[in-house]
Chains A and B, each alone.
Chain A
Amino acid sequence: MVRRGPLEIASRVSAAVLGGYALTFALVRTTAATLPLPPVDALMVPTLLSFAVYVAAIVWAMGVSSPGRAWLGLLGPAVLLLALSP
């Protein structure tokens, strides 16, 4: 078992839960805005897949070597996606 301090755990879990949700949210928003489909489909396709993305983000953040990396790896792309979003 990897020993971890409580602060590290709190940071990592917040990164996974909040950062993971932020990334998923940004991904869905940007994809929905750009998919060349009728609006209902453009919304539903990324939304229905989003929960798998969220789960993957949580698992990734919990497994990565440090909480800093988890935060960076999730919030970085999230900000980038929102900046690119039309």
Chain B
Amino acid sequence: MKERFRQSMAWLHTWGGLLFGWLLFVVMLTGTLLLFRPEIDRWMRPELAAVSPPAAVAATAAQRYLERHAAGAGGWTIHLPSERAPYLEVQWPAGGTVATRFLDPATGEAIAVRDTEAGDFLLHLHFELHGGRLGMWIVGATGIAALVALVSGIVVHRRIFKDFFTLRPRASPHRAWLDAHNAMGVLTLPFQLMIAYTGVALFFYIYMPAGFAPLFGGSPDRFFEAVFPGPSRPAAGEAAPLLPLAAILERAATFIGPDAVDTITVRNPGDRNAVVGLRGFDDELRLLARRAALDGATGEMLSRQKDFPPSYEAWGVMVGLHFARFGEAAVRWLYAIGGLAGVGMVASGLILFAIKRHRRSDAVSARLVDALNVAVVAGLPCAVAGFLWANRLLPGGVPDRAAWEIGIFFATWLAMLPHAAFRPAARALVEQLGLAAMLCAAPPLLDALAAGDHLARSLRQGDWAIPGIDLGALAVGLLLAGAALAVARATAAFPRPGASASGRYERPVAQDGAA
């Protein structure tokens, strides 16, 4: 009975892991990169020098600009400079899209910044595969699959504690990959469970909307109105000047310190019923903002909130755990280690599948699995590096420049597929890892050699965002080169007897042991 259950779990782990492994790899790799999203954003917009004006100065500059250029818009959003995002960004809805400008708080003028989606693109890839609501459901299913794979993996892995530190890199490739897979999975198991669970729970209102019908008339909006009972005032249709935002910040200072304000929103600016919203995050585990709403014309405090229903606070803690904003850089690096281990766990699992299932098979399905394994595991890093290249090499004046960057990302990725399909799998893996290594190392070199003065300027100012990403990309390049060498050596050490053209990660069939 017990043994039969274990076998069922092995089947579930193997096939569920294969089916969702490729998606999981994409989600985990982009998630790991997103730990450094503000820095990536800054690297991809090198024109923005770091500034840290007082909140009142930045708000005043933003208001002056928006009153001149977006007076008729239904709403404004102002992102004040912060430690990790030290620039002033304003947004307003304009003809179906959102207009974004970066402002110099000293002059109040817009800064010419290359058109890029930067980290936003990686974010949308992470939670919806760049594919809207359908993509979100696929990523949600991937999160559940990750949890199922972890649970079934624990059941399958009988000697979970005994094997804790077993690593036999000189054993057969199968053993080596299995040990690596287990070590990475077991050592970071709590992190993997946490990150998958909180990731799914983040979008509870989409993935599990069962409770809205009996309690909120089926409407998530009414639920959120109950959580945030702020004012909802429609425009009066009567003009009234908006108070200076600096004065509004001052008015709310006892509830939310001006320099703790992260975002200012203005609904119906210039209307008698304008509402100014202030939002700021406290330095704590939960990622729930304290918020205040003030009358834009009179400055009267309409509502303020820092406490939420206890269960909603619990959700806020889950969000905080997922986003890793609760600590300093050390927390992000710990998360990065967990994320990389997860990426490695998935990659080694995919390769294990190829080794175990298709050892002697040249079937189409085997070739397909091999090709997808390589094109995802090594192809995605190539594509991300291509995205960074595009950011540095595409001229500023290209129309739809941001879309071109994304196009180059997907084109690079697609180009990996035929290569992975027509080369022997192990060779393809080594070659694409090598290519990814070179591609990752190049943008920093471009920065150092060719690009404008932004690297020198950053270093002069002791601002590490741009050189930090440069060094990070170099380090990732070295890591990938190491991985390429390791795979090359492992597969060379075990030449396949009577090797065929398939060239998978072979080992002599005689060494076949129970997995």
| B309 interface residue (CB < 8 Å to A) | yes
The 8 Å CB contact of B211, one of A2, A43, A52, A65, is A43
Inter-subunit contact A40/B9 (CB<8 Å) = no
Whole-angstrom CA separation of A52 from B311 in the bound complex: 16
> In the complex, what residues of A have CB within 8 A of residue B144's CB?
51, 54-55, 58
Q: What is the interface of chain B mostly: helix, strand, loop, or mixed?
A: helix
| A6 interface residue (CB < 8 Å to B) | no
The 8 Å CB contact of A48, one of B151, B204, B214, is B204
The 8 Å CB contact of A41, one of B4, B8, B210, B311, is B311
In the complex with contacts A24-B208, A25-B208, A48-B12 CB distance below 8 A: no
Inter-subunit contact A43/B9 (CB<8 Å) = no
> In the complex, what residues of A have CB within 8 A of residue B226's CB?
39-40
| B36 interface residue (CB < 8 Å to A) | no
Task: For chain A, residues 31 to 50, give those with C-beta under 8 angstroms from any C-beta of chain B.
Answer: 31-33, 37-48, 50
Inter-subunit contact B11/A47 (CB<8 Å) = no
Task: For chain B, residues 191 to 209, give those with C-beta under 8 angstroms from any C-beta of chain A.
Answer: 197, 200-201, 204, 207-208
| A18 interface residue (CB < 8 Å to B) | no
Q: How many residue pairs, one in A and one in B, have C-beta atoms under 8 Å apart? A: 105
| B422 interface residue (CB < 8 Å to A) | no
> In the complex, what residues of B have CB within 8 A of residue A45's CB?
311
| A59 interface residue (CB < 8 Å to B) | yes
Whole-angstrom CA separation of A39 from B227 in the bound complex: 10
Inter-subunit contact B9/A44 (CB<8 Å) = no
In the complex with contacts A41-B311, A62-B9, A48-B318 CB distance below 8 A: yes
- With both beta carbons as reference points, the residue of chain B lying nearest to A1 in the complex is identified as B7
The 8 Å CB contact of B214, one of A32, A44, A51, is A32
| B329 interface residue (CB < 8 Å to A) | no
Inter-subunit contact B312/A50 (CB<8 Å) = no
Inter-subunit contact B208/A28 (CB<8 Å) = yes
Most buried by B among A25, A26, A51, A65: A51
| A68 interface residue (CB < 8 Å to B) | no
Counting contact residues on chain A (CB < 8 A from B), the size range is 20 to 34
> B60-104, CB under 8 A of A: which get 1 and which 0?
000000000000000000000000000000000000000000000
Inter-subunit contact A44/B148 (CB<8 Å) = no
- With both beta carbons as reference points, the residue of chain B lying nearest to A43 in the complex is identified as B211
Whole-angstrom CA separation of A82 from B67 in the bound complex: 54
- With both beta carbons as reference points, the residue of chain B lying nearest to A58 in the complex is identified as B148
Whole-angstrom CA separation of A40 from B213 in the bound complex: 13
Could you jot down 27 A-B contacts, CB within 8 Å?
A1-B7, A32-B215, A33-B211, A33-B214, A37-B311, A39-B226, A40-B227, A41-B309, A41-B311, A42-B211, A43-B223, A43-B311, A44-B204, A44-B309, A44-B312, A45-B311, A47-B208, A47-B210, A50-B208, A51-B147, A51-B197, A51-B207, A58-B148, A62-B12, A63-B5, A63-B12, A65-B4
Residues of A in contact with B (beta carbons under 8 Å apart)? 1-2, 24-26, 28-29, 31-33, 37-48, 50-52, 54-55, 58-59, 62-63, 65, 85-86
Please name 10 further chain A to chain B contacts, defined as beta carbons within 8 Å, in addition to the given A50-B204, A55-B148, A59-B12, sorted by A numbering.
A25-B208, A29-B210, A29-B211, A38-B309, A41-B312, A44-B309, A48-B314, A51-B201, A59-B9, A86-B214
Closest 7 CB pairs of A and B: A32-B211, A44-B311, A33-B214, A28-B210, A43-B211, A40-B309, A29-B210
